[in-house]
Amino acid sequence: MEKHSYKIHTLACVALFTAGNAAIMQPFYGKSNFLAVFLLTALFSASFALLSVAVVNLAFKESDSRFRKILRYIIAAAAVLAAIYGAFSTVFDYVTFLGKAQLPQMHTALIALATLGFIVVFIKISHTAILKYCLFMAALSVAVVVLLFGVSVKLFDFAALTLDASLSGSDCALSFKCFLKYFSPILAAVLFVTLANGKTKTVNIWGGLGVGFLILLITAVQSVLILGNSGGYEFSYLYAVSVFSSGNLFSRLDGFVYFLFFATVTVKIAVCAKLLPLIIRRLVYAKHF
């Protein structure tokens, strides 16, 4: 039976997982040296991803060694915690966004219920279906981000973009806090793709991480160039896109932003939700776990 290669799916999965709820909350917007903070956060995340891949591959290599077995359980426990945290924080941020901006007249309980429904669906479908979903959504998401950036160029105020490379102690602490809040669950994504594909290559994870951070960079830069960098917008990217209009036909392109947020959030939730049954199945059924 032909074994499918899911390299590009892995890249897409990690890309949207990385963008996740950070695309909604735009943690780098509103700081004068946001580029420096962004790069430092990306560095923390890349280092953590490298460590995660090395440890996960070491733990899940086919072997009966006692050390590997103990390591597998430790990594599985850490990944489950990361997945639970990742899923809950993403759901919380997304429900907040829906309640305030996209669906303000719908009761929060209904929104939460619908989100719960998604989680149940993602737990039940196969991991290959999730990978294919990731690829489909990632292609469209990147196209949306590039399109929205391109059409908004005429609105840019380049004077608002200051290249401040200074980093104070508090900026470093802020970068680390951003990494912990939004990007530490990458361990869950690494374990997910490892269990789905058998082994994970660092280049695929870093590629996905790079695309994810590129999405965040484009959205943050667009927000700054249109809205300035003084802050004051809770969902800055949504506001930045809502300003664009061209004639009477093309205005309020908020729908594209809603799609982007839906894509990044559902991928992050799907991976976090699917990880737990995947680990349990391997614990119960796999010969060498």
Residues that bind another protein (CB under 8 A): 100-101, 104, 157, 160, 226-230, 232-234, 239, 242-243, 245, 252, 255
Q: Pick between residue 87 and residue 134 the one whose CB is nearest to another protein.
A: 134
Q: Pick between residue 176 and residue 239 the one whose CB is nearest to another protein.
A: 239
Q: Which residues does 200 contact at the CB level (< 8 Å), separation at least 6?
A: 10, 53, 56, 57, 190, 193, 194
Q: How far is the CB of 230 from another protein (least distance, A)?
A: 7
Q: How far is the CB of 100 from another protein (least distance, A)?
A: 6
Q: How far is the CB of 225 from another protein (least distance, A)?
A: 9
Q: How far is the CB of 60 from another protein (least distance, A)?
A: 32
Its sign, for the CA torsion 207, 208, 213, 215, is: positive
Q: Pick between residue 45 and residue 102 the one whose CB is nearest to another protein.
A: 102
Which is nearest to 161 in space by CA: 107, 103, 216, 228?
Answer: 228
> Where does residue 41 rank: exposed (0-12), middle (13-18), buried (19+ CB within 10 A)?
buried
Torsion of CA 139, 143, 146, 151, to 10 degrees: -170
Q: Pick between residue 63 and residue 230 the one whose CB is nearest to another protein.
A: 230
Q: Pick between residue 22 and residue 227 the one whose CB is nearest to another protein.
A: 227
- How far apart CA 258 and CA 177 sit, in angstroms, is 26
Q: How far is the CB of 101 from another protein (least distance, A)?
A: 5
Q: Which residues does 271 contact at the CB level (< 8 Å), separation at least 6?
A: 13, 17, 83, 130, 188, 189, 192
The tokens of 120 are what? 């149940």
